């Protein structure tokens, strides 16, 4: 007895496999996460492959930070510190690229970003989905 595979099933299977392959390729183009425990980060997004990988991974992290100049050009080498509600530093690092993906426990935070020429501060609540915070200098 020969079984026929329905075209709808094989098309759906191809979509799932293509999505998994895209995610695996995106993750392999990304640098390793840094930090310890629940407070971790990875920064990058320089070059088209890495930029694509970071954009594809944004929804997998509670917080994404984006750094750019006022004219829209990406900004890197930004000093970042993130404090929790008790004003305790959860993370502090220098962003090596215009996009940083952050893993933090749910809660309220203040993100400070210093690009040398300007400093900015934004409040964010993490939890219940991925958040993105843009800093324009």
Region 63-85: mean pLDDT is 96
Which H or E run contains 29? none
CATH number at residue 44: 2.60.40.10
Residue 42 within a domain: yes
Domain span including residue 76:
7-136
Distance CA 36, CA 129 (A): 21
Residue 1 within a domain: no
Backbone angles phi, psi at 20, to 5 degrees: -65, -40
- Please tell me the total count of domains within the chain: 1
Region 81-106: mean pLDDT is 97
pLDDT for res 18: 42
pLDDT for res 36: 84
Tokens of residue 124, six digits: 């964010």
Residue 2 within a domain: no
Calculate the average pLDDT of the chain.
84
pLDDT digit string, tens, across residues 1-53: 554 444 444 434 333 334 444 444 445 668 999 998 889 999 999 888 999 99
3-state secondary structure of 62: coil
Q: Is 64 exposed, middle or buried (0-12, 13-18, 19+ CB in 10 A)?
A: buried
Residue 121 within a domain: yes
pLDDT for res 81: 98
């Amino acid at each position: 007895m020969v079984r026929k595979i329905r075209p709808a099933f094989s098309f759906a299977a191809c979509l799932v496999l293509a999505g998994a392959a895209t995610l695996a390729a995106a993750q392999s183009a990304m640098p390793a996460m840094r930090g310890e425990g629940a407070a971790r980060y990875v920064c990058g997004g320089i070059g088209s492959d890495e930029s694509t990988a970071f954009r594809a991974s944004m929804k997998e992290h509670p917080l994404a930070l984006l750094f750019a100049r006022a004219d829209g050009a990406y900004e890197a080498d930004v000093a970042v510190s993130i404090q929790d509600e008790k004003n305790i530093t959860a993370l502090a690092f220098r962003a090596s690229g215009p996009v940083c993906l952050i893993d933090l426990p749910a809660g309220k935070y203040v993100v400070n970003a210093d690009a040398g020429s300007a400093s900015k501060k934004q409040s964010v609540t993490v939890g219940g989905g991925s958040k993105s915070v843009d800093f324009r200098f």
